[in-house]
Structure 1
Amino acid sequence: MKLPDRDSEHLVFGLLFLLSNKLQTLGDTFFEEVTTKQWFILLVLKILSGNEPTLNELSDAAGSSRQNVKQIILKLEKKGFVELRKDETDGRKFRIKMTPKCEEFSNAYAQKSIEFMKKLFANIDETDLNTTLKTLNRLQENLERMENEYV
């Protein structure tokens, strides 16, 4: 996308939204049982699953509000992918545990996910990928600093 009267920062800003929307739309057709946002929460949950994270821990790791993550978790619980239960030592906290159905889902899509990622990152060499990763990490750091300023 090239617009002659716009600077690179504005183009990258817009492109991030465009890519996010396209990824979500494509992802919503990729999985039969879950949405892209639900899949992302399951992915983050899998990374944190060793200690059955709280809603707050999962929300922080996913970079989303507790309220949004709770709504996604409640939908995933209805579908049988997770169990939401009160913490044994602190009744104010809720912990999330993946169910066997979640593991079955992950296994069922393992090969298809690998193929999807290969297609998504086709024609992008390791140098470009590393540069992109550095840039996105710096954007994330900037957003975190900005959150502290504005919130």
Structure 2
Amino acid sequence: MWRGCLLILLLSACRAEQAPVALLSGMVIKVSDGDSLLIRDDQNQEHQLRLAYIDAPEYSQPFGSEARRNLDRLVYRKQVLAKVVDTDRYQRSVVVLQLGNTDINSEQIKAGLAWHYQHFARGKQSSADFERYQSLEQQARQARAGLWQESAPVPPWDYRKAHRGGN
């Protein structure tokens, strides 16, 4: 009898829907760079956030300061909703950031101030959002918006790799 109960319990657990994605809401109190920021929630807890599926130029790269300023302009001192999709190696919540109905992550791409980070997005981002982010990047490239004004912009992941000590 207990084996039957255990079997039913295991089968129901396997069929259970995925746990809901965590949501954070709070006031943006600091913008660190073009894809990371700090919010304070209603319980006065601070949360370090990294924008998911995009990679903005490092601050020392061309358009790094512009990417930071644009994100600051969009969200600083504003109430945002963050859909947590992962945690990075620095223990930051990796999020899709919403301001009202606006996807802030995609706004950085649209402005030409971030790449669609396909390496991390593939298989994690919905196919509709993946296509939308790809399309926004292509439009920014064609319009030569932001970093796409450069003749050969260096993706931040290549820049970081080239500037790592010892490599």
Structure having greater relative contact order (Cα 8 Å, sep ≥ 6): 2
TM over 0.5: no
Larger Rg: 2
Instruction: Judging by fraction of residues, say which structure has more helix.
Output: 1
Instruction: Judging by fraction of residues, say which structure has more strand.
Output: 2
Under a length normalisation based on structure 2, what TM-score does the superposition of the two structures give?
Answer: 0.28
